[in-house]
């Protein structure tokens, strides 16, 4: 197909709300934009394993430990799945990983915050996965086929994650004063970073406009954030927790909860590398990768020997 | 002095196998997010989950048999170091991926044989746990032995590391086949097995893995012992300090 015909077909697919598939012609920038977004998404799943893995060995009961392991395992699986989906765009997992390690690609800034108590594991499930789901449900409608299908699968597991987080919070608020304080402390620290997960106001988002036109992105940052706030505020109230926002109020006219202004300095500082644990998260990842180099080399060498042996015996 | 105190021999027997699984599950859990590839993070998490699942069932059963109100979590997390009766092998820390897989492979080869026998236990609960666990252990062994072979017969570096890991873990393997009065009592009742009955097949399995891996079977005759009597290496205490921290710090709460 000529580039002209490809371009026309691409425009028609986007217009008709159909899916772009790996073999379809697509603009270079569409491809680059998707690689950036899908890689960032995959990296977030993988880096996101760390703050939760921080509590696996200290989980308070066997049941909670098992659920948390399963959740972190799901995240590794999501990472793999998303890297595979990104590979359909002609980039390898190793290349993407290298870009993560060297800081050229980002991951969700939320994972640069530390998990300081068991309640943080609950808060991550409830708030962070809750926010991710709002994003990902919409992404099921994204224009790139493999990404859209990955989201359908991932959303199912994420809703289990959010429920387990809420269940941890529920157990805490029904518990002792110490447990309630732990839950409140967690929402105090995680509420604002969770809201920041939706990104800057659309006017300041460098990728938003074009992503909307290409239907990679379907709903604006601020609208997604509002959906999350509206669903989460009543849950916090049900738990008896106070949301750390003195300006929070219900707008009777629109039926929406209005939040105070986000600390955008903190947002940009963390994105640019100066959040509480940016350096540690990457160092952990790079160390695991470097420590495992000899293992990967051995696997490659063993496979080579096996092929040679099979070749000889054939 | 063996300080393990449960009400019945059956509970004591169930707890020792639960201890093996909870402690190895905890060790594997330490490794999650540190594996050489994402696929191995998934596999290690999967192993940890299976071992902790087995431990959950066995502790719950021990708790029911004891009947004195100590629940599965109290058994798992609120005993003193001397009351844990796991094999020394499973409490060993791992310095690298080769040690993770050597420890796993030796234990998997044992558990495949153990659960196969216990699948026919006259105790229905033990038989039920064993019938599920034997499938998991078989899958674990395929994975762990696959890595022992790949690393043993990989590069010079991986061969050296895998041999070192095998040598490092070897002295904790003999303990798997030591029997005591409780083993004999449980075997006589048809509830349990005599560990010594598993040894020959274990040796054969491991020999064939080591041979395929081009590794040397360690000649070190020294074999450590004591786990079943609550005499551990120094590593267990630190593992427990971490695992028990929440239960110890916040007594009697629901999570």
Q: How far apart are CA A175 and CA A166, in angstroms?
A: 14
Using the structure block, give the residue that is written with the tokens 């950036």: A36
User: Which residues on chain A are in Cβ contact (under 8 Å) with B161?
Assistant: 294
Q: How far apart are CA B102 and CA B94, in angstroms?
A: 9
CB contact under 8 A, B35 and A292: yes
- Residue A236 pLDDT: 98
Q: How far apart are CA A13 and CA B180, in angstroms?
A: 72
Residue B134: which domain range? 9-249
* B95 lies in some domain: yes
What separation in angstroms does the CA of A123 have from each of A93, A119, A162, A245, A274? 30, 6, 9, 17, 22
What is the predicted ipTM?
0.96
User: Which residues on chain B are in Cβ contact (under 8 Å) with A294?
Assistant: 155, 157-158, 161
* B200 lies in some domain: yes
- Residue A118 pLDDT: 98
Task: Name the residue among A50, A73, A175 with its Cβ closest to that of B49.
Answer: A73
The two three-digit tokens of residue A203, written as one number: 């006017």
* B171 lies in some domain: yes
Average pLDDT, chain A: 95
Q: List the 192-231 stretch of B: residues with Cβ below 8 A of A.
A: none
Nearest chain B residue (CA) to A283: B34
* B139 lies in some domain: yes
- Residue B71 pLDDT: 95
CA-wise closest residue to B23 among B91, B73, B107: B91
User: Which pLDDT band, with edges at 50, 70 and 90, does B4 fall under?
Assistant: low
Residue A81 confidence (pLDDT) above 50: yes
Helix ranges restricted to H, B153-195? 156-170, 181-188
- Best B19, B36, B43, B102 member to test A by mutation, with max A CBs in 10 Å, is B36
* B2 lies in some domain: no
Residue B6 confidence (pLDDT) above 70: no
CB contact under 8 A, A297 and B255: no
Residue A206 confidence (pLDDT) above 80: no
In the predicted model, what is the mean pLDDT of residues B74-80?
96
Q: How far is A177 from chain B (nearest CA, A)?
A: 11
Contacts for A248 with CB less than 8 Å, ≥ 6 apart: A233, A257, A258, A259, A260
pLDDT tens track for B214-234? 999 998 889 999 999 999 999
* B254 lies in some domain: no
Report how far Cα A230 is from the mean position of its chain's Cα atoms. Answer: 20
Nearest chain B residue (CA) to A293: B36
- Whole-prediction pTM value? 0.96
Helix ranges restricted to H, A174-239? 177-196, 208-213, 221-239
Q: How far apart are CA A158 and CA A127, in angstroms?
A: 12
pLDDT tens track for A211-226? 899 998 889 999 999 9
* B228 lies in some domain: yes
What CATH number does residue B162 fall under?
Answer: 1.20.1260.10
Using the structure block, give the residue that is written with the tokens 């947002």: A267
- Residue B2 pLDDT: 45
pLDDT tens track for B139-171? 999 999 999 999 999 999 999 999 999 999 999
* B80 lies in some domain: yes
User: Which residues on chain A are in Cβ contact (under 8 Å) with B45?
Assistant: 69-70, 72-73, 76
A-B Cβ pairs (cutoff 8 Å, strict): 143
Q: What domain count does chain B have?
A: 1
CB contact under 8 A, B56 and A66: yes
Query: Phi and psi for B34 in degrees, rounded to 5?
Result: -120, 5
Report how far Cα B59 is from the mean position of its chain's Cα atoms. Answer: 14
Residue A267 confidence (pLDDT) above 80: yes
CA-wise closest residue to A58 among B55, B244, B39: B244
Q: What is the CA radius of gyration of chain B?
A: 18
pLDDT tens track for B86-144? 999 999 999 999 999 999 999 999 999 999 999 999 999 999 999 999 999 999 999 99
Residue A295 confidence (pLDDT) above 80: yes
Q: Which range (A8-17, A34-43, A206-215, B68-77) has the least confidence? A: A206-215
User: Which residues on chain A are in Cβ contact (under 8 Å) with B155?
Assistant: 294, 297-298, 301
Query: Phi and psi for A261 in degrees, rounded to 5?
Result: -75, 135
Residue A119 confidence (pLDDT) above 60: yes
Q: How far apart are CA B240 and CA B229, in angstroms?
A: 17
């Amino acid at each position: 197909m000529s580039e002209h015909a490809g371009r026309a077909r691409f425009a028609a697919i986007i217009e008709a709300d159909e899916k772009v598939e790996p073999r379809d012609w697509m603009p270079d920038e569409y491809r680059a934009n998707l690689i950036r977004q899908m890689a960032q998404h995959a990296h977030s799943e993988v880096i996101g394993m760390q703050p939760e893995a921080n509590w696996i060995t200290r989980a308070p009961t066997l049941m909670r430990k098992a659920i948390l392991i399963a959740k972190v395992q799901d995240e590794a699986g999501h990472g793999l799945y998303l890297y595979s989906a990104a590979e359909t765009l002609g980039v390898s997992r190793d290349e993407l990983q290298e870009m993560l390690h060297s800081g050229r690609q980002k991951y969700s800034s939320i994972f640069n915050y530390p998990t300081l108590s068991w309640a943080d594991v609950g808060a991550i499930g409830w708030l962070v996965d809750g926010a991710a789901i709002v994003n990902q449900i919409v992404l099921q409608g994204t224009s790139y086929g493999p990404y859209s299908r990955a989201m359908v699968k991932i959303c199912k597991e994420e809703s289990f994650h959010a429920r387990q987080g809420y269940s941890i919070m529920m157990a805490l608020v029904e518990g002792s004063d110490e447990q309630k304080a732990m839950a409140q402390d967690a929402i105090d620290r995680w509420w604002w970073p969770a809201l920041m997960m939706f990104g800057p106001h659309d006017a300041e988002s460098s990728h938003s406009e074009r992503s909307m036109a290409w239907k990679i992105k379907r709903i604006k940052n601020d609208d997604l954030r509002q959906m999350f706030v509206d669903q989460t505020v009543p849950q916090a109230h049900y738990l008896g927790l106070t949301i750390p926002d003195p300006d929070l109020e219900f707008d009777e006219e629109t039926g929406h909860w209005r939040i105070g202004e986000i600390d955008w300095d903190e947002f940009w500082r963390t994105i640019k590398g100066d959040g509480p644990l940016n350096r540690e998260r990457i160092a952990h990842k790079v160390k695991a990768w470097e420590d495992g180099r000899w293992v990967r080399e051995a696997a490659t060498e063993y496979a080579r020997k096996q092929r040679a042996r099979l070749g000889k015996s054939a | 002095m063996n300080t393990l105190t449960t009400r019945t021999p059956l509970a004591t027997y169930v707890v020792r196998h639960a201890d093996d699984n909870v402690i190895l599950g905890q060790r594997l859990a330490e490794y999650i997010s540190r594996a050489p590839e994402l696929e191995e993070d998934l596999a290690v998490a999967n192993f940890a989950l299976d071992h902790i699942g087995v431990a959950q069932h066995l502790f719950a059963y021990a708790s029911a048999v004891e009947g004195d109100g100590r629940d599965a979590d109290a058994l798992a997390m609120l005993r003193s170091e001397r009351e844990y009766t796991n094999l020394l092998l499973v409490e060993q820390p791992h310095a690298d991926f080769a040690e993770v897989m050597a420890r796993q492979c030796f234990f998997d080869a044992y558990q495949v044989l153990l659960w196969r026998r216990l699948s026919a236990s006259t105790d229905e609960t033990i038989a039920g746990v064993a019938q599920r666990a034997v499938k998991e252990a078989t899958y674990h062994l395929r994975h762990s032995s696959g890595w022992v072979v790949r690393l043993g017969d990989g590069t010079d570096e991986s061969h050296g590391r895998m041999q070192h890991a095998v040598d490092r873990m070897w002295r904790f393997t003999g303990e798997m086949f030591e029997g005591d009065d409780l083993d004999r009592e449980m075997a006589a009742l048809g509830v349990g097995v005599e560990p010594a009955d598993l040894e020959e097949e274990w040796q054969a399995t491991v020999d064939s893995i080591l041979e395929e891996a081009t590794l040397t079977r360690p000649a070190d005759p020294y074999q450590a012992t004591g786990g079943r009597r609550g005499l551990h290496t120094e590593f267990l205490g630190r593992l427990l300090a971490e695992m028990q921290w929440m239960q110890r710090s916040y007594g009697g709460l629901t999570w």
